[in-house]
Amino acid sequence: GHRLSNINAPALVIAGAHDEGGAAPSVGRQIASDIPGGRFAEVDAAHLASVESPEEIARLLLDHFA
């Protein structure tokens, strides 16, 4: 995580609640916490969150970039 601390742009890390692989929510939470001001969001999906929960992903992204 030491390189993540060098990021100085707004960051939103999104993970699927049912993803059990390398992009599991626990991994996303850690990544977000390693980025200064990083935000984490968990959606009702597995690994393909943008396909499984497109409306929720769109809402999160619109809020993030607003």
Quickly count: other Cβ atoms within 10 Å of residue 19's Cβ.
21
Per-residue pLDDT averaged across 26-46, rounded?
A: 95
Per-residue pLDDT averaged across 36-51, rounded?
A: 95
- Alpha-carbon distance of 25 to 12, in angstroms, equals 13
Which phi and psi angles does 42 have, rounded to 5°? -115, 130
- Mean of the per-residue pLDDT values of the chain: 93
Model pLDDT, residue 12? 98
Three-class HEC string of 33-63: HHCCCCEEEEECCCCCHHHHCHHHHHHHHHH
Model pLDDT, residue 1? 57
